[in-house]
A and B are shown apart, each in its own frame.
Chain A
Amino acid sequence: MTEEAQIEEQAIVEASKLSRIYGSGTTLVAAVTNVNLSVFRGEILLVMGPSGSGKTTLLSLIGGLLRPTSGTIRFGGHDLTSMSESERARLRRDNIGFVFQDFNLLSALTARENVEVALNLAGITGKRAVVRAELLLDQLGLSERAGFIPAKLSGGEKQRVAIARALANDPLLILADEPTANLDSYHGLAVVHRLAEIAQDEQRTVIIVSHDERLKEIATRVMWMEDGQLSESGPPTKRLAADAAGGYVTYRPRHVDHHEPTHPTNKV
Chain B
Amino acid sequence: MVPVARKNLLADKIRLVVSIGGVTFAVILILVVRSLYQGYYREIGAFVDALPVDVWVTQTDSGGLVYSSTVPIDTGTRLSQIPGVARTVAMDRQRLRLEFDGSPVDVIAMAFDLPQSAGSQLGLELPGPGEITIDAATAKKADIHAGDVIDVRGLSFRVSRITSAANLGLSGLAIVSWSDADVLTGIPGYVSSWLVTLVPGTDSSAVIAAIDQNVSGLQAFSRKEYADANRSQVSGTFLPIITVLFTVSFLVGSAVVGITIYTSVTERLREFGVLKAIGASTRTLYRVVLQQSVIVCTVGFAVGVPATYVINRTARSLVPEFITLMRWQDSLLAFGIVLGMAFVASMLPIRRIAGIDPAEVFRG
Contacts and interface: CB of A to CB of B under 8 A. Distances in A.
Contacts of B284: 121
B277 interface: yes
Nearest to A55: B362
Contacts of B276: 89
A72 B278 CA distance: 22
Interface stretch (B5-13, B207-215, B303-311): B5-13
B362 A60 contact: yes
B277 A92 contact: yes
B358 A108 contact: no
Contacts of A126: 1
Interface centre among A57, A113, A117 (most CB of B within 10 A): A117
Interface in B258-285: 268, 270-271, 274-282, 284
Contacts of B89: none
A57 B284 CA distance: 26
B4 interface: yes
B284 to A, nearest CB: 7
B279 A100 contact: no
A109 B278 contact: no
Given A56-B362, A60-B359, A102-B364, A113 B277 contact: no
A27 interface: no
Contacts of B124: none
Contacts of B302: none
A165 B2 CA distance: 14
A65 B358 CA distance: 6
A116 to B, nearest CB: 5
Contact of A109 (B2, B281, B364): B2
Contacts of A108: 4, 7-8, 10-11, 268
Interface string A80-99: 00000110011111101110
A56 B359 CA distance: 9
Nearest to A106: B271
Contact of B278 (A107, A129, A165): A165
Contacts of B8: 108
Nearest to B267: A107
Contact of B2 (A89, A93, A113): A113
A261 to B, nearest CB: 28
A5 interface: no
Interface in A54-80: 56-57, 59-60, 63, 65-66
A29 interface: no
Given A89-B281, A121-B280, A101 B4 contact: no
Contacts of B351: none
A118 interface: yes
A177 interface: yes
A93 B279 CA distance: 4
B270 A125 contact: no
Contacts of B282: 85-86, 89
A99 B322 CA distance: 63
A104 interface: yes
A100 B361 contact: yes
A121 B278 contact: yes
A89 B7 contact: no
A122 interface: yes
B266 to A, nearest CB: 14
Nearest to A133: B2
A169 B280 CA distance: 13
A201 to B, nearest CB: 22
Contacts of B357: 65
A89 B361 contact: no
A98 B277 contact: yes
A47 to B, nearest CB: 13
A120 interface: yes
Given A65-B362, A101-B364, A102-B364, A107 B271 contact: yes
Given A56-B363, A109-B4, A121 B277 contact: no
Interface in A162-211: 165, 169, 177
Nearest to A66: B359
A96 B7 CA distance: 26
A92 B2 contact: no
Interface in A6-24: none
A90 B7 contact: no
A63 B10 contact: no
Contacts of A125: 1
A177 B268 CA distance: 21
Interface string B100-144: 000000000000000000000000000000000000000000000
Interface string B157-178: 0000000000000000000000
Contacts of B270: 104
A109 B361 CA distance: 18
A89 B281 CA distance: 6
B279 A89 contact: yes
B359 A65 contact: yes
18 contacts: A65-B357, A65-B359, A66-B359, A89-B276, A89-B282, A90-B281, A92-B277, A93-B279, A97-B278, A104-B270, A104-B271, A106-B268, A106-B275, A108-B4, A109-B7, A121-B280, A121-B284, A177-B362
Given A63-B277, A66-B359, A108-B10, 6 more contacts: A92-B277, A104-B271, A106-B271, A107-B268, A108-B4, A122-B279
Interface of A: 56-57, 59-60, 63, 65-66, 85-86, 89-94, 96-98, 100-102, 104, 106-109, 113, 116-118, 120-122, 125-126, 129, 165, 169, 177
